Amino acid sequence: MSTVPKPTPTPAADPLDSLFRPVAVEFFAGIGLARMGLEEAGFRIDWANDIERSKAEMYRAQFGEPSDLDKATDPDRSPGYFLGDVTKVKAKHMPENVRLAWASSPCVDVSLAGARLGMKGERSSMFYQFTRVIGEMGEYKGRPDVIVLENVVGLATSHGGEDLAAAIDTMNGLGYSVDVLTLDARSFVPQSRPRLFLVGVREDKVPASQPGANPVLRPDWLRATLTRLAGRGLEIHQARLPDLPDVSVGELSTIVDDRADEWWDAERSVKFLNSLSPMQAKRLGELQEKSRDAPLYRTAYRRTRDKTPMWEIRADDIAGCLRTARGGSSKQALVRIHGNDVRVRWMTSVEYARLMGADDYNLKDVKRAGQALFGFGDAVCVPVVAWLAKNYLKPVIDGTFQPGGDSEEPDVDVEESSTMRPLAEIHG
């Protein structure tokens, strides 16, 4: 077993605070939206990292840390936040008593909008740096109770499911049984944003597995993959969780930034209308008829069809998945339709924040609109994280998990929940 150096001292924490607010660390933190969701669920984030300085600037504006971005580039000098390559992170940099490790691993190599290079791609392979640190923690200061990988749904099908199998196998090797879920942000905000979550639970805290539970969280295409992978000997469980909120959560109009007035001029608007295909023009006409009494809002993407750029308007009353230019897709425009009056403009940073469930995010110090759009387009939706953490992650950590929800409040002397079973029992 390797010898790991003594850790850099970290500020002392109130032990009672740690008891009722379990400590979490956030790898590939971006602008901190996962942190917002975890804090809403009762976690305390004691360490985070990212490699993008522009995202770290937004993170600091929101959370007040790191206090010194230049100092944060040295993991030995910045115990709470590291700005740099995750390959430099060691177990000694982790705080004490970590109960949850969250990783929103770079997804461009498995994204449906990316190059589909899989987990061997340069960015998505950062997952293995995350699991390396978790492995080192097991040797040095104890593994977290739960680890989570958040990624695009393309991970489930990348290389015929072999990338998902490799990720699960790696987490199994660290002593975690893995649950795989898909959640769409449209259950909470008017945005279509499906994401995949791999929830690794340490073997002494695994909840009872109920195959077939929660078909919305584990649709047929995903459940079939999980059944096949379990047959290969991978340690997989399916915890029964509460039902998600209804998909219909409000209209796109609820996130519109009323202060924005940068509507395109007449010439640019005419170009937009002229670029619509006959089918798109028909759709617009139908929306114009529906909006005689009150305005409607839709989003639009610029696509290339038969080598010709053209605009396409969404038919439904939600935004498409917010993306970054690095993901291979254009940013979205907002279309306001009120009878014959059709106006178009780019979506604002405020609207991006609202679509990610981060309505109160601090944008006053953001220097460039593109900086905010990049940060939000490369993030995870806040209420999605909060729902998962409240209904799954924290109850498992507290030992209060109850299948289907209604988890009990933690007690100082609470015994391990009767719903917890070791891996060997689950898989015979």
Task: For tokens 């924040």, name the residue.
Answer: 353
The backbone torsions φ and ψ at residue 411, rounded to the nearest 5 degrees and listed phi first, read -125, 150
Helix (H) or strand (E) holding 217: none
Strands 176-184 and 341-346, how do they pair?
unpaired
**Residue-level pLDDT at 248:** 58
CA 86 remoteness from chain centre = 18
| 3-class state of residue 179 by DSSP | strand
CB 400 within 8 A of CB 417: yes
For residue 62, CA distances in Å to 82, 346, 386 come to: 16, 24, 18
Task: For tokens 């100082």, name the residue.
Answer: 412
Q: Domain 17-247+379-426's class?
A: alpha beta
- Of the candidates 78, 86, 76, 74, the one whose C-alpha atom is nearest the C-alpha of residue 26 is 86
* CA distance linking residue 29 with residue 101, whole number of Å: 11
Of the residues 38, 107, 168, 201, only one is catalytic, namely 107
pTM of the predicted protein model? 0.86
Q: 107 an active-site residue?
A: yes
Task: For tokens 């006053």, name the residue.
Answer: 364
* Number of C-beta neighbours around residue 253 at 10 A: 13
- DSSP per position, 341-355: EEEEEEPPHHHHHHH
CB 172 within 8 A of CB 235: yes
CB 29 within 8 A of CB 49: yes
Residue spans of alpha helices (H) in 28-125? 33-40, 53-63
| Burial (0-12, 13-18, 19+ Cβ within 10 Å), 194 | middle
Residue spans of alpha helices (H) in 21-52? 33-40
In angstroms, how far is the first alpha carbon of the chain from the final one?
30
Q: Give residue-wise pLDDT tens across range 405-423.
A: 665 554 433 333 323 333 3
CB 276 within 8 A of CB 249: no
- What residue type is assigned to position 29 of the chain? A
| Burial (0-12, 13-18, 19+ Cβ within 10 Å), 361 | buried
Domain ranges (residues) in the chain: 17-247+379-426, 261-347
- What residue type is assigned to position 386 of the chain? A
| 3-class state of residue 100 by DSSP | strand
**Residue-level pLDDT at 361:** 97
**Residue-level pLDDT at 340:** 96
CB 277 within 8 A of CB 310: yes
The strand pairing partners of 184, in sequence order, are 194
Question: Could you list the pLDDT tens digit for every one of the 428 residues in the chain?
Answer: 333 333 333 444 555 565 679 999 999 999 999 999 999 999 999 999 999 999 999 999 999 988 899 999 999 888 899 999 999 999 999 999 999 999 998 754 333 334 434 445 444 478 999 999 999 998 877 999 999 999 999 899 888 888 899 999 999 999 999 999 999 999 999 999 999 999 999 999 999 999 989 999 999 999 989 888 888 999 999 999 999 987 656 689 999 999 999 999 999 999 999 999 999 999 999 999 999 999 999 999 998 888 888 999 999 999 999 987 554 456 899 999 999 999 999 999 999 999 999 999 999 988 888 899 999 999 999 999 999 999 999 999 999 999 886 655 544 333 333 233 333 333 33
CA 106 remoteness from chain centre = 11
**Residue-level pLDDT at 254:** 94
| Burial (0-12, 13-18, 19+ Cβ within 10 Å), 326 | middle
**Residue-level pLDDT at 366:** 87
**Residue-level pLDDT at 16:** 59
CB 305 within 8 A of CB 176: no
